[in-house]
Amino acid sequence: MRFCIFAMIAWLIASLSVSAIATPRDTDPAAYLDNALDLLRARHINRADADWPSIEAAARAPIRNAKTTSDTYPAIRTVLAALGEKHSFLVEPRQPTASGSATGYQAGSTPPGRIPLPTGIVIRGHVGAIWLPSLNSLGEGGQAAAAGYAEALRSALQALDHKAKCGWFVDLRQNGGGNMWPMLNGLDPLLGEAPFGHFVAGKSETQPWVRTADGIAPSSNAASGVTPGFALKHGNAPVAVLIGPQTSSSGEMVAIALLGRPNVRTFGAPSAGLSTANETHLLSDGATLAITVMTVRDRTGKDYRGPIVPDEEAKGESAEIAAVEWLEARCAQAE
């Protein structure tokens, strides 16, 4: 059964996954590859510009003697590379243990209870500094992990609020992605007015990121007059956003959600360039094919298909100093 992309996107996240779709239980390698090709032809963001006859011929040639579905994995990855986009990927199924249970957690996930949480400190007595790590937890415990992450971020902001009169320092340089919605809900008062960004599918179909009665989510039918989930005394203060090459996927989405808000400036180095949204498909042998299906647009109307380039490029501690000095300069102007 195919689920509506936008109805599922708020809840099923695997590098911004949009839906989880089971495919026919093909065990024949050729049929298995055909199924993957069909999904990519139908859904991939670059499908219209792809040279499908050449791509398919190059994929089928090396699997002529394939015995198992796993023998097709290199061919599928070759197809993904030929589509000229680096956010789509294939995740191989987990291997069963002697007891018959699968080992480890889903790819890109972190075992429940080991997920790093946001932390914060006060800098120079008047800047609230927040570090947002990745949030890669799927499957069992994922919902609790997401709620815990959002609550930790909210608590950190509230604890710093009374001293953050000169603004906020939001560090995304180690945020490699995961579930973006707890990140946005935890930052809610700093985001300003909705929409905070948009998913873009095709030329005209967009889904804005807005406040709903259930929190921040992509929705075209947001309830009117929804206020932030919690209040901050200094929620409208300037925000310095730090990004770098490890800022990826959902980390980039958080940066985009802040762009266009008044008194926001970015510092650091260009991000990883994975600011697109994926749709995940569960294949017959338990592998997962994540297909990039949407791009992202910020609240100003700017579209992203590559790295976010900061307003002020600087490395390491230099970026931190520049960010704090900018916040202090804005603070002095307001006095």
Across the chain, which has 335 residues, the per-10-residue mean pLDDT values are 31 38 65 96 93 95 92 96 92 64 39 79 97 79 88 98 97 94 97 94 83 90 79 97 96 97 97 90 93 93 93 94 96 80
Residue 57, number of CB atoms within 10 A of its CB? 10
Please give the structure tokens belonging to residue 162: 């009374």
Q: What pLDDT sits at residue 96?
A: 53
Are 44 and 167 members of one domain?
no
User: Which structural domain range is residue 140 located in?
Assistant: 119-192+228-272+307-334
Does any domain span residue 299?
A: no
Are 255 and 178 members of one domain?
yes
Does any domain span residue 210?
A: no
Contact by Cβ (8 Å): 272, 245: yes
Are 239 and 186 members of one domain?
yes
Are 58 and 79 members of one domain?
yes
Does any domain span residue 179?
A: yes
Q: What pLDDT sits at residue 140?
A: 55
CA distances to 53, 177, 208, 270 from 140, in Å: 41, 19, 29, 34
Are 35 and 159 members of one domain?
no
- What distance in Å separates the CA atoms of residue 156 and residue 164, rounded to the nearest whole number? 12
Q: What pLDDT sits at residue 9?
A: 38
**Which CATH number characterizes residue 283's domain?**
3.30.750.44
Are 38 and 96 members of one domain?
yes
Q: What pLDDT sits at residue 305?
A: 85
**Which CATH number characterizes residue 178's domain?**
3.90.226.10
Half-sphere exposure of 87 (CA within 13 A, CB side): 31
Are 163 and 248 members of one domain?
yes
Please state the domain count of the chain. 2
Does any domain span residue 143?
A: yes
Does any domain span residue 149?
A: yes
Are 107 and 176 members of one domain?
no
Are 172 and 239 members of one domain?
yes
Are 137 and 171 members of one domain?
yes
Are 162 and 85 members of one domain?
no
Q: What pLDDT sits at residue 27?
A: 78
Does any domain span residue 168?
A: yes
Does any domain span residue 206?
A: no
Considering only CA atoms, which of 244, 267, 243, 269 is closest in space to residue 255? Answer: 243
- What distance in Å separates the CA atoms of residue 88 and residue 105, rounded to the nearest whole number? 20
Q: What pLDDT sits at residue 304?
A: 92
Q: pTM of the predicted model, to two decimals?
A: 0.81
Does any domain span residue 325?
A: yes
Contact by Cβ (8 Å): 310, 270: yes
Are 164 and 263 members of one domain?
yes
Q: What pLDDT sits at residue 137?
A: 62
